[in-house]
A and B are shown apart, each in its own frame.
Chain A
Amino acid sequence: MDLTSTFNRNMTVGVVGSGSFGLALANLLAENRDVILYSRRSEVADAINANHEIYGKKLNARVTATSDITEVTSNCTLLFPVVSSLGFRQVIRSMAPTLRPDHIIIHGTKGLDIKFPVQDLTATSTLSRGQISTMSEIVLQESVVKRVGCLGGPNLASEIMQGQPAATVVASRFEEVIHEGQKALRSRRFQVYGSHDVTGIEIAGVLKNVIAIASGALGGLGLGDNARALLISRGMAEMIYIGKTMGADTRAFIGLAGVGDLIATSSSPLSRNYTVGFRLAKGESLDAITKTMTEAAEGINTIKVAKALVNNYKVRAPITEALYRIMYGDMDIKQALQYLMEYP
């Protein structure tokens, strides 16, 4: 094998997915490396290559786009998949034939995967840990890649696009993955922390979306900071209880990827999940909201999975229960609020 021919691969980084976080990530990485950005739509890739701009967002000149996934896998060793959790497994499958054991994959998707359509989950469904895969578990299941990690922390894409200072966590069981992730991402405006607790960081990032929707609902009702602080702190406790059923360690929740991410998404109208809650409180239906959103709000599916976990493991989770009933059941927001205030 001619190893020297692979040299270039190690200086170019791949981003898979051209959603708002994918674009932000590509720009961050482009400060240190050449970036190949995959978009499944060729017109998006073409537009980026022609103008270094898409949806009115400027992209660094070091970002090259493609709609051919093998361009990414064969030219880059370090890959960042950032697609919605619903499409994640399929994307990894499409990459699998060209993935090799020396690839490193650090994903930025904050969702969970179950083996059947999420729509099939009802209010009484139960899920056990074994029936749920985190995104890093999908990579291990579907490909030969073992060096897997994830991103966590408050990463509101539009703030990153504006070049505001922010930080992230790269979590992996492999020191090497954390190190490579830091080298590629770190810059004067972007701090990168490391963690070995992949499951903890993944689960913290996933569950906070549920609380973010609830927080948006409070915002939509016009409630103030006392109410939000109440929600965030109780929500945090609930995240930890549910997280434990998934094998997550408490420590992950009190760091940047837990409480840090929770505060950012629960107080910012820039967050998609917050927006869902906000519009629900304004009286829109869930259907109407999802139809008008350009990108998936992960919390909409996560709450179903979380509810099924709660059912199975009998976890005390009033916020999850109430929110589930608002979104998929019989409760309106005012009733839910009353329910929570009177919850023993």
Chain B
Amino acid sequence: MSEKTKNKNNKGWMYDELFPDWREWPIAQMGRNRSELVKEVEEYTLKAVHDATNNSRANLNDELAKALYLERVRISQTPWKADKPDEKAFWGSIKKALLKIPPDGVAPEGQDEEAILQRIVERYSDEIAGNFNMSAYNFAKGFTTFGFARLLNSWNVFGMRTLRGQRRELHEKIKLVGAIDDIRNLATKGTVIMVPTHFSNIDSILIGWAIQSIGLPPFVYGAGLNLFGIKLLAFFMNRLGAYKVDRRRKNLIYLETLKAYSTLALRHGSNSLFFPGGTRSRSGAIESKLKLGLLGTAFEAQRLNYIDKPNDKARKIYVVPVVFNYNFVLEAPSLINEHLKRAGQEQYYDENRSGSSSINMFKFIYKFLTVQGEMSISFGKPMDLFGNDVNHEGQSIDRNGRQVDIMRYFITNGVITHDQQREAEYTRMLGDEIVKRYHKENMVYPSHLVAYTAFQIIKKRHKKLDLYSLLRLPEDDHTIEYNEFYETIERMVGVLKQMSAEGKIRLDDDFDRFDTKGIIEEGVRNSGIYHAQRPVKLTKEGTIASEDFNLLYYYHNRLEGYGLNKHI
């Protein structure tokens, strides 16, 4: 981390703001010119829908009918608080208009498919578009900092501190590691897309905080429409540049409008945030399959940037994988339960868990308040859309150190062409690369290693049991003798250090600071620290045991996918 920018700012941020004049922020400009942006989204969407329907009136009619049907089903079957009150009336009028079109012929202008499409797209565009507002941003900035400090710094709850002091505390609690200087540099040269892993609901707030901490203006991101049902949240998200994504809607016209918004935000140079995993990781493992929908808009925007300027003046888009590293995930118990249900279907019985009795709740809060665990956010090395490294000037460099002109990836027979299938394939390749980078950026804490090792030792002991039988073993079968555990951990630390030296994974500096005994103690102490039932604990007899084997499995999953089990 460069000392130049660190801690210089009198407001207490770690990094200077890169663009102190917020009026220059593309996201602020988008907010100021919202009505123009909405118009732009409309036009863009209309063209995209025409392309998708091959400019055929009959195809368009089909898509309209499909959209109408799906929307009416949605309205009656999954109504949400955040829905507009006139939904029913609007789609009722669309239905009428569609019925008026003669089946065999052409409707008069203003009443034809085109006019109906326009009405729908207008409505969608206005609903999706965000509404950035600077004073709300400033307010939220203070709010998250304050709220976070309370959440993570238990003893702060009991004492008053200045906002400034708390910010410092927060940075001690949450380490920001990785290619921050590179990201800051590239943010001055092109458009940055961050693609974080997703483990906890706290992530979207955390990434917002992290982005402002490294001195970048706020990022545009799509937030679930359901969240807008909560009024206070809606108030802020509306004004923080979030646009609305309604996951219930799968009709072509809606999806094209959504893509149009994301594409145009990127085209305007707004840094953007996608959670490519789609939802939180249920298993606790790092995402291995990504949902690529909106990531594809990056290729669209990059191609259009090159059509504007077919040379190295074109604005480039850079991708930054981000990994959240936690000792604990607040909602782990419910996540892993959902995962096991989904994966195992009837194989898995959710026995009544005793997690919510008042004694356990007390224990929960107590642990919550006395927690000393830390967390970190690793910023991966920025890359271009094709997985190439980029140099200080933002140029793409291939594995052999040669400069790559990535514009040519969009070229067929000498000209830049729009080939949907090709770009879908590029998007898939980028997704694979992001997953690879996640594994490299993943930071191992002693608590992860302890959970992984404990689970694998027990699994190895019961080779013939499938996962579900394993999870239902009686508690007595979960205990591991300290010596066996010690030896395995020692071996694993060696393996991890080797991997870390080869750049395959990150290791927390606890692994340098402590000996094996210390690592075990630290790991057990921090393992799932907030949970009423501990995934790993040291018993009075000095053995290793688990109070909640499902949770142990959840935290163990964090180190899956590295082939570490062959060292157990």
Interface residues of A (CB under 8 A from B): 1, 3-4, 6-7, 9-10, 77, 96-97, 100-102, 144, 146-147, 173-176
Closest chain-B Cβ to A247's Cβ sits at a distance in Å of 13
Q: A174-B425, A176-B421 are in contact. Are A144 and B412 (CB under 8 A)?
A: no
- Partner of A146 from the list B310, B311, B415, B426 (CB cut-off 8 Å) is B426
Residues of A within 8 Å of B414, CB to CB, are 3-4, 6-7, 9-10
B425 engages A144 (CB within 8 Å): no
Interface string of B413-454 (1 = CB under 8 A from A): 111000101100110010000000000000000000000000
Q: A102-B408, A102-B412, A146-B429 are in contact. Are A1 and B422 (CB under 8 A)?
A: no
At the interface, is chain B mostly helix, strand, loop or mixed? mixed
A174 engages B422 (CB within 8 Å): yes
Nearest-CB residue, chain B, relative to A97? B402
B475 at the interface (CB under 8 A from A): no
How many A-B residue contacts, CB cutoff 8 Å?
54
Closest chain-B Cβ to A196's Cβ sits at a distance in Å of 10
Nearest-CB residue, chain A, relative to B404? A144
- Partner of B411 from the list A102, A144, A174 (CB cut-off 8 Å) is A102
Q: A146-B426, A174-B422, A175-B419 are in contact. Are A96 and B412 (CB under 8 A)?
A: no
- Partner of A101 from the list B400, B404, B413 (CB cut-off 8 Å) is B404
B386 at the interface (CB under 8 A from A): yes
Closest chain-B Cβ to A62's Cβ sits at a distance in Å of 19
Residues of B within 8 Å of A1, CB to CB, are 310-311, 405, 407
Q: A1-B311, A3-B414, A4-B414 are in contact. Are A176 and B419 (CB under 8 A)?
A: yes
A100 engages B422 (CB within 8 Å): no
B409 at the interface (CB under 8 A from A): yes
Residues of B within 8 Å of A7, CB to CB, are 414
- Partner of A174 from the list B311, B413, B421 (CB cut-off 8 Å) is B421
Nearest-CB residue, chain A, relative to B312? A1
Residues of A within 8 Å of B398, CB to CB, are 144
Task: Report how many residues on chain B are interfacial, defined by Cβ distance under 8 Å.
Answer: 24
Q: A96-B400, A100-B405 are in contact. Are A77 and B421 (CB under 8 A)?
A: no
Residues of A within 8 Å of B421, CB to CB, are 174-176
11 A-B contacts (beta carbon < 8 Å)? A3-B411, A6-B414, A10-B414, A100-B408, A101-B406, A101-B408, A144-B402, A146-B386, A146-B409, A146-B425, A175-B419
Complex: how many Å from CA A142 to CA B17?
A: 40
6 pairs of A and B residues whose beta carbons are closest in the complex: A101-B408, A102-B408, A102-B411, A101-B409, A10-B413, A175-B421
Closest chain-A Cβ to B2's Cβ sits at a distance in Å of 31
Residues of B within 8 Å of A96, CB to CB, are 400
Complex: how many Å from CA A175 to CA B421?
A: 7
- Partner of A173 from the list B310, B411, B425 (CB cut-off 8 Å) is B425
Complex: how many Å from CA A174 to CA B422?
A: 6
Q: A96-B400, A146-B386, A176-B421 are in contact. Are A3 and B405 (CB under 8 A)?
A: no
Name the residue among B404, B414, B426 with the largest chain A CB count within 10 angstroms. Answer: B414
Interface residues of B (CB under 8 A from A): 310-311, 386, 388, 398, 400, 402, 404-409, 411-415, 419, 421-422, 425-426, 429
B409 engages A102 (CB within 8 Å): yes
Residues of B within 8 Å of A101, CB to CB, are 386, 404-409, 411
Residues of A within 8 Å of B429, CB to CB, are 146
Complex: how many Å from CA A77 to CA B412?
A: 9
- Partner of B413 from the list A77, A100, A173, A175 (CB cut-off 8 Å) is A77
Closest chain-B Cβ to A270's Cβ sits at a distance in Å of 36
Complex: how many Å from CA A256 to CA B335?
A: 47
Nearest-CB residue, chain A, relative to B388? A144
A175 engages B422 (CB within 8 Å): yes
Residues of A within 8 Å of B311, CB to CB, are 1
Residues of A within 8 Å of B422, CB to CB, are 147, 174-176
Complex: how many Å from CA A100 to CA B406?
A: 9
Complex: how many Å from CA A173 to CA B421?
A: 9
Closest chain-A Cβ to B296's Cβ sits at a distance in Å of 15
Residues of B within 8 Å of A146, CB to CB, are 386, 409, 425-426, 429
Complex: how many Å from CA A238 to CA B413?
A: 42
Closest chain-B Cβ to A187's Cβ sits at a distance in Å of 20
Residues of A within 8 Å of B402, CB to CB, are 97, 144
Closest chain-A Cβ to B413's Cβ sits at a distance in Å of 4
Closest chain-A Cβ to B463's Cβ sits at a distance in Å of 16
Complex: how many Å from CA A6 to CA B310?
A: 15
Complex: how many Å from CA A147 to CA B417?
A: 14
Residues of A within 8 Å of B386, CB to CB, are 101, 144, 146
Residues of A within 8 Å of B426, CB to CB, are 146
Name the residue among A6, A77, A97, A101 with the largest chain B CB count within 10 angstroms. Answer: A101
Nearest-CB residue, chain B, relative to A104? B412
Complex: how many Å from CA A4 to CA B411?
A: 12
Nearest-CB residue, chain B, relative to A180? B412
Closest chain-A Cβ to B421's Cβ sits at a distance in Å of 4
Complex: how many Å from CA A175 to CA B429?
A: 15
Complex: how many Å from CA A77 to CA B400?
A: 21
Nearest-CB residue, chain B, relative to A177? B422
Nearest-CB residue, chain A, relative to B403? A144
Residues of B within 8 Å of A97, CB to CB, are 400, 402
Residues of A within 8 Å of B409, CB to CB, are 101-102, 146
Residues of A within 8 Å of B388, CB to CB, are 144
Residues of B within 8 Å of A144, CB to CB, are 386, 388, 398, 402, 404
Residues of A within 8 Å of B310, CB to CB, are 1, 3
Closest chain-B Cβ to A34's Cβ sits at a distance in Å of 15
Complex: how many Å from CA A100 to CA B398?
A: 11
Closest chain-A Cβ to B120's Cβ sits at a distance in Å of 30
Complex: how many Å from CA A175 to CA B417?
A: 14
Complex: how many Å from CA A196 to CA B406?
A: 24
Closest chain-A Cβ to B433's Cβ sits at a distance in Å of 11
Complex: how many Å from CA A101 to CA B306?
A: 14
Residues of A within 8 Å of B415, CB to CB, are 3
Nearest-CB residue, chain B, relative to A10? B413
Complex: how many Å from CA A334 to CA B404?
A: 57
Closest chain-B Cβ to A120's Cβ sits at a distance in Å of 22
Complex: how many Å from CA A10 to CA B415?
A: 11
Nearest-CB residue, chain B, relative to A175? B421
B412 engages A176 (CB within 8 Å): yes
Closest chain-B Cβ to A283's Cβ sits at a distance in Å of 45
Closest chain-B Cβ to A96's Cβ sits at a distance in Å of 6
Closest chain-B Cβ to A112's Cβ sits at a distance in Å of 21
Closest chain-A Cβ to B431's Cβ sits at a distance in Å of 13
Closest chain-B Cβ to A183's Cβ sits at a distance in Å of 10
Closest chain-B Cβ to A15's Cβ sits at a distance in Å of 19
Complex: how many Å from CA A77 to CA B408?
A: 11
Complex: how many Å from CA A77 to CA B415?
A: 13
Residues of B within 8 Å of A100, CB to CB, are 405, 408
Closest chain-A Cβ to B115's Cβ sits at a distance in Å of 34
Complex: how many Å from CA A247 to CA B406?
A: 30
Nearest-CB residue, chain A, relative to B412? A176
Complex: how many Å from CA A97 to CA B398?
A: 10
With A101-B411, A176-B421 known, 5 other A-B pairs at CB within 8 A are A1-B407, A101-B406, A102-B411, A102-B412, A147-B422
Residues of A within 8 Å of B411, CB to CB, are 3, 101-102
